Structure 1
């Protein structure tokens, strides 16, 4: 078996284990990202307490059980295996080709025969882009399944709101009929919803193009490692410069310093790219019905404009705390392997 295939399988296996363990956090995070709230509305202290990740996980478990926490797990595992496998496979292929090219150039006196850091970043970006293009449909389905119950509730609320307006304008005979409809709406439960239903829904709404919703922000997020590297190098350079004239080694960083700088760089890259993740999730989730235009997006630019207009900058960072916790847990699981 080739080294590219081995790396692909190893990456897929580790990714699946991390995905299973942290999936409830991902579900809560996706729901947080897709939740709309007008920027004019100020939440009180109690409301803020009730939006904590732990509270939302417990609430989700109480109302929907384990099925709610792990909704969309099957396609997610397929997506994780495919994403990790595809990424590491193409990364290894590109790495081998670039290394061979560097050696060949070195023999001609055009270099030292090694691959530079920016070349590695370029390889990672290309492999990441290939992965996004091939696996985006899977993640559209996962997002739909994670947010299905949430979307169904909002659809019911919109229908009830319209019925209540009709009740206010109706005569006595019509009121009783409308009240019966309201009762039926209250007693309705979310429809059974699995992978097949998600596929049909996406295709019915947008055709084949619907499976690549959120592609643009996802492709841009491929630059996350580059941002992380630039932050790390900037901080490391400043730390080394402060050691000038001291007895400490000027060039070498301690293991603890490397760890802390890496953590800060990762956090910085997450803060920079997280808004794109929120936009991606909203584009992939089911668009809400009714007259509320703030809940419907026609594309990436439209989503960004409406989020700024109706929710402010806060909307772009919904659920970021949950995402950071989930990322730390996932990285810890992969590290233990």
Structure 2
């Protein structure tokens, strides 16, 4: 089994678990990002207040709106990202080793190379999976009028797929197609491509922190430089925190473009493209508009990233152990042998 495939599968598994745990926060955050009230309107609701409002007016089910396509998107995104990340990472390591052999380096992958590896992986991921996230955004921002006739306790044991029946995946896909045709499924792709700087910064910080931690242990004379699951959790959280703070405005613009555009509505809330959205947000909402819901996003994304890193690393270790125990070997991609 190849190392790239192991990392791809482990990344998908970690992403799904993180998504299941943090999804209600993601739904609330997407709604906060797509609120388009002028800056003179009342103060925006906080995370818990917004969540309580959704539950009170629309029921618990709406916190899980779009969960099914989101899980598919998470598995696809993390699988694609980690698969290509490992391939590009091994290529970078091979190039670094070759430079060391020629006497022009220390054999390690530098910060710039790590950034490029993450960026290339992110671009491939965005182009392949953007349609899934357009559908997810539509389902998360779809609001249901009135409170459903069900108590909080009745939500327990309900099939999650059935929760989306009032505005299901097929409905969301049809709505996007009717609004903008096939092109509609790539709405927001420009800011999303720019947003690859988020995982790029995240992985650059993560790899740097991990390398320094291992180097410090070696310097202290510790023979075992393995990093524990808890340490991976905190390293992932710190890396994601830094990346989220830097790139959050682009995430808001992306969500605005992917949310439903109401025909015949307020022209201030209709966007023809990325620059049009940015200019209208500056004009009608001010700079604060680019940071709507950032506190929610920090909690959700940092927690999700920490879980993802921890679970993914444990799955990689477990997979390699199973392969070697079964008499197999973890194969490096062929490009390392060139």
The equivalences for 1:260-275 within 5 A come to 266-275=240-249
Matches of 2:249 and 2:17, distance apart in 1:
27
Aligned to 1:96, which of 73, 87, 90? 90
Matches of 2:39 and 2:165, distance apart in 1:
32
Note if 1:75 corresponds to 2:69.
Answer: yes
Matches of 2:184 and 2:63, distance apart in 1:
25
- Displacement of 1:117 in angstroms is 2.0
Which whole-Å deviations, capped at 9, do the CAs of 1:99-140 have from their partners, x for residues lacking one? 223333433444343322211111011001111111100000
The equivalences for 1:107-146 within 5 A come to 107-146=101-140
Partner SS state of residue 124, structure 1: helix
Aligned to 1:303, which of 277, 280, 284? 277
Q: Report the aligned-residue RMSD.
A: 3.1
Distance 1:141 1:69, change over 3 A: same
Q: 2:23 matched to which residue of 1?
A: 23
Distance 1:229 1:85, change over 3 A: closer
Partner SS state of residue 282, structure 2: helix
Note if 1:204 corresponds to 2:178.
Answer: yes
Q: 1:182 matched to which residue of 2?
A: none
Matches of 1:116 and 1:264, distance apart in 2:
20
Note if 1:322 corresponds to 2:296.
Answer: yes
Task: Name which one, 1 or 2, has greater alpha-carbon Rg.
Answer: 1
The equivalences for 1:1-337 within 5 A come to 1-41=1-41, 43=42, 51-149=45-143, 192-225=166-199, 227=201, 266-334=240-308, 337=311
Matches of 1:127 and 1:118, distance apart in 2:
14
Retained in 1: the 8 A contact 2:123–2:196? yes
Q: Give the unaligned 5+ runs of structure 2.
A: 147-163, 208-219, 221-231, 312-338
Q: 1:172 matched to which residue of 2?
A: none
Distance 1:335 1:102, change over 3 A: closer
- Displacement of 1:75 in angstroms is 0.4
- Displacement of 1:58 in angstroms is 1.7
Segments ≥4 residues shifted beyond 6 Å: 229-233, 258-265
- Displacement of 1:332 in angstroms is 4.1
Q: Give the unaligned 5+ runs of structure 1.
A: 154-189, 234-248, 250-257
Q: 2:332 matched to which residue of 1?
A: none
Aligned residues: 274
Q: 2:155 matched to which residue of 1?
A: none
Partner SS state of residue 166, structure 2: coil
Partner SS state of residue 127, structure 2: helix
Which whole-Å deviations, capped at 9, do the CAs of 1:253-277 have from their partners, x for residues lacking one? xxxxx99998677544322211100
Matches of 2:103 and 2:167, distance apart in 1:
62
